[in-house]
Amino acid sequence: MFRALQRSSILKSVSAKAFAQTSIQAERYISTKKAVVFNLRGSVVPALSHVVKKFARDHNMSESEMMAKLFKEGDKSLLKKIEPALLSRHGSFHVALAELVSAIQGIRAEGIKTGLILDAGDLNPAYIPIDTELFDVTSPALKPAILDQLKVDSTDVVYVDNVEKNLKAAQSLGMTTIKVENIESALRDIEASLQVPLKEFLPGFTWIYWDNANSPYKNTKENLLYYLLVIYVFMVSGHLSLKYVFKVDGTQQH
């Protein structure tokens, strides 16, 4: 009888601790920010840089010349060659565009609004491969009106860009700003500012989603690889989950 009561007490204690930890975790993931605004030229274009740079070398061009050919002139033959690499993991180990898209989807999944400033500088935004439907609001320029469109205060907004003039303009409106030096560090800064997790459970898997959703160039072998990887992950996670059996008193055994 005493042993049963003791076990009941332990169970209640463990349950209370687990509930408290879950509550703390939930509070930790409630962001104080309500919107993230990206600049097309200052955040999306840098995400293409690794792939564009590689193709520029292959075609004996500078990166700026290749950018102009692709996203200003809309050279169809070059776009056809580079599109598979831009829209997938292939051609770059950085997976920058796929990571950016995944982060934007993660931001929206947290209930945080997203905006896109369609400022492409001297490039044509129509040629830049980003789906505007990823964003709640698009605007041709950074103006106070975007706050009304997003229905948020300026202090609730994180603005992402790599142009000092634009960053200063956003700061003057009261926004929190993040300067894009490279996409990986910018995403870490966004995550820290929002105080919500945006990284993938399995790093490097965004390319699978991005390829399946967007790339018409996937072949049967790549699809087979995807399914084999998923099966392997479930097998490993299942093995780790069942490796230990936890006793009521908190000790563990195989």
C-alpha closest to that of 90 among 221, 253, 231, 246: 221
Evaluate if residue 117 carries a pLDDT over 60: yes
Q: Which residue has the higher pLDDT, 42 or 248?
A: 42
- Give residue 226's pLDDT band: very low, low, confident or very high (50, 70, 90): low
Evaluate if residue 73 carries a pLDDT over 90: yes
pLDDT tens digits, 143-152: 999 999 999 9
pLDDT of residue 223: 57
The two three-digit tokens of residue 174, written as one number: 């009261």
pLDDT of residue 201: 46
Q: What are the residues whose beta carbons fall under 8 Å from the beta carbon of 14, sequence distance 6 or more?
A: 250
Q: Which residue has the higher pLDDT, 176 or 221?
A: 176
Residues of the chain with pLDDT > 70, as a percent, come to 65
Cα-flanking dihedrals φ and ψ of residue 141, to 5°? -155, 160
For 67-90, what is the mean pLDDT? 83
pLDDT of residue 99: 80
Winning range, highest mean pLDDT, from 74-83, 121-130, 162-171, 236-245: 162-171
DSSP string, the chain: -HHHHHHHHHHHHHHHHHHHHHHHHHHHT--S--EEEEEIIIIIHHHTHHHHHHHHHHTT--HHHHHHHHHTS--HHHHHHHHHHHTSSTT-SS-HHHHHHHHHHHHHHTT-EEEEE---TTS-GGGS---GGGSSEEESS--THHHHHHT--GGGEEEEES-HHHHHHHHHTT-EEEE-SSHHHHHHHHHHHHTS--S-SSTT-HHHHHHHHH-TT--HHHHHHHHHHHHHHHHHHHHHHHS-EE-TTS-EE-
pLDDT of residue 182: 86
- Give residue 237's pLDDT band: very low, low, confident or very high (50, 70, 90): low
Least confident range from 52-56, 93-97, 246-250: namely: 246-250
Q: How far is CA 254 from CA 233, 240, 250, in A?
A: 21, 11, 14
Cα-flanking dihedrals φ and ψ of residue 243, to 5°? -65, -40
pLDDT tens digits, 173-195: 999 999 999 888 899 999 999 98
pLDDT of residue 84: 76
What is the model's pTM?
0.68
- Tokens 């993660």, located at residue: 106
Query: How high does pLDDT run on average in the chain?
Result: 77
pLDDT of residue 118: 95
pLDDT of residue 79: 86
Evaluate if residue 231 carries a pLDDT over 90: no
For 129-145, what is the mean pLDDT? 94
Evaluate if residue 116 carries a pLDDT over 70: yes
Residue 105 has a CB neighbour count (10 Å cut-off) of: 14
